[in-house]
Amino acid sequence: MGWELPLDDIANYQPNLYTPEDLHEFWQKTLDEAAGHPLNVTAEPVEDTPLRSVTVYDVTFAGFGGQPVHAWYLVPKDADGTRATVIEYIGYGGGRGLPHEWLYWSAAGHPHLVMDTRGQGSAWRTGDTPDTGTSGSPRVPGFLTDGLPDRDSYYYRRLFTDAVRAVDAAALLPFADRERLVTTGTSQGGALSLAAAALHPTVAGAMPNVPFLCDIRRSAHIATQGPYAELVKWCRTHRTEAGAALAMTAYFDLAVLAPRASCPALFSVALRDETCPPSGGYAAFNRYGGRKKMIAYEWNDHEGGEAFLLREQAEWLSRLF
């Protein structure tokens, strides 16, 4: 894939996207229903681990519908008070895996909550959280079309709610600073970090990387790899329902939700990304409601900045607070 838009134009891409009139009411009702369930946060220390510089907790909290969601929580051993806390969400198809796969942020001195992804964790990293809204156990992808075209039964209604509830759970954990909760993630995780920033008023910062679910309709037309192909196949098969389904996805499009966010954000995109087209990332960035900065990796595909970006994120986080 070459440039999907002229290089001089892509950074200014700001589409006029359809915004449902009841967008706010839909999400307020959804989150109010979730808040009606006790959060039920538990954090059990993990003793059987070779890790010596961090304390690992196996966390559970009640997500959408009061259903249990698992997470890892890693805290630096030298933590002696509350610290800026990173809440991380996972890319499409992956689960929380094992604690030693998540050492960067605790090594950098930050408590780090890693939310498992309901129903996912069978494509590339194992997961432990069933999606009890459907068939249950973690399975291979198909999530992008799960529930179409009904917004109330759509998979991402459940997952966005889990992401918001993870912020509430993090605020109750030891050593977490509830005034300095920062969301992050890559691809689907980047979308969830934006969703939490847009839907939870106490998120203090967001660091979305090559975010998924941004300008969904255009991205589905452009992407040549990854999960947008699932949406294309669904629309190709359900010809008469495609228009309604795509209109419904506006409730879950982060370029549509981005103006609701007000916290500072560090975005990143990769300009040769064939999975999450960079125009989608710029659409969300340019419509984002808070103070913001973009890092664009000109020669990279969906891997984005990887270790180079982590260094940029740590420096940005230190300046933020």
Give the catalytic positions in this structure.
Answer: 187, 273, 302
* Radius of gyration, alpha carbons of the chain: 18
Q: Which amino acid is at 10?
A: I
**C-alpha to C-alpha distance for 245 and 230, rounded to whole angstroms:** 13
